[in-house]
Chains A and B, each alone.
Chain A
Amino acid sequence: MATTMQEKDVRSRVLALLTEIAPDIDPATIDPKRELRDQVDFDSMDRLHFAVAISEAFHLDIPEQDYAQLGALQTACEYVQRRSGGS
Chain B
Amino acid sequence: MPAAAIHKLTGSQHVAPYLSDYDAACRAFTWESARAQLAGLPGGGLNMGYEALDRQVAAGRGACVAARFIDRQWRHSDLTYADLLESCSRFGNLLQSLGVARGECVATLLGRSPELFTVVLGTVRAGRVCSSLFFAFGPEPLKTRLQLGRARVLVTSDELYRRKVAPIRAALPDLQHVLLVREANAGELPAGTADLAQLLGASGAQCAPAPTRDAEVALLHFTSGTTGKPKGVTLTHAAVIAQHATAKLVLDLHPQETYWCTADPGWVTGIAYGVIGPLTRGARMIIDREEFEPQRWYRILAEERVNVWYTAPTAIRMLMKAGTALARARSYPELRLMLSVGEPLNAEAVLWGTEVFGIPFHDTWWQTESGAIMIANFYACDVLPGAMGRAIPGVEIRVVRRGAGGRLEVIESPEEVGEIALRPGWPSMFSAYLGDEQRYRAAFIDGWYLAGDLARRDRAGYFWFVGRADDVIKSAGHLISPFEIESCLMSHAAVAQVGVIGVPDPIAGQAVKAFVELKDGVAQSEELRRSLMAHARRLLGAAVAPREIAFSAALPRTRSGKIMRRLLRARELGLPEGDLSTLEAGT
Contact = CB atoms under 8 A, between A and B. Distances in A.
A87 B417 CA distance: 60
Given A37-B291, A44-B292, A23 B322 contact: no
Contacts of A79: none
Interface in A11-35: 19-20, 22-24
B353 to A, nearest CB: 18
B318 interface: yes
Interface in A33-87: 37-38, 41-49, 63-65, 67-68
Contact of B138 (A22, A41, A47, A48): A41
B542 A42 contact: yes
B295 interface: yes
Given A24-B537, A43-B136, A43-B542, A38 B159 contact: yes
Interface in B318-375: 318, 321-323, 326
B534 A23 contact: yes
B451 interface: no
A65 B322 CA distance: 7
B538 A24 contact: yes
B293 interface: yes
B541 interface: yes
A20 to B, nearest CB: 8
Contact of B291 (A22, A44, A65): A44
Interface string B527-563: 0001101110110011100010000000000000000
Q: Main SS of the interface on chain A? A: helix
B326 A65 contact: yes
Nearest to B540: A41
B541 A65 contact: no
A41 B538 CA distance: 8
Nearest to B505: A45
Given A41-B136, A68-B293, A23 B159 contact: no
A64 B138 CA distance: 28
A45 B136 CA distance: 12
A54 to B, nearest CB: 16
Contact of B542 (A19, A22, A65, A67): A22
Given A44-B291, A64-B323, A65-B322, A49 B537 contact: no
A22 B530 CA distance: 9
B508 interface: yes
A23 B159 CA distance: 20
Interface in B292-332: 292-295, 318, 321-323, 326
A15 to B, nearest CB: 14
Contact of A22 (B136, B295, B322, B537): B537
A47 B507 CA distance: 13
Closest 3 CB pairs of A and B: A64-B322, A23-B534, A24-B537
16 contacts: A22-B537, A23-B533, A24-B533, A24-B534, A38-B159, A44-B292, A44-B476, A45-B543, A46-B542, A49-B547, A64-B318, A64-B323, A64-B326, A65-B294, A65-B295, A68-B295
Interface of A: 19-20, 22-24, 37-38, 41-49, 63-65, 67-68
Interface of B: 136, 138, 159, 163, 291-295, 318, 321-323, 326, 476, 507-508, 511, 530-531, 533-535, 537-538, 541-543, 547
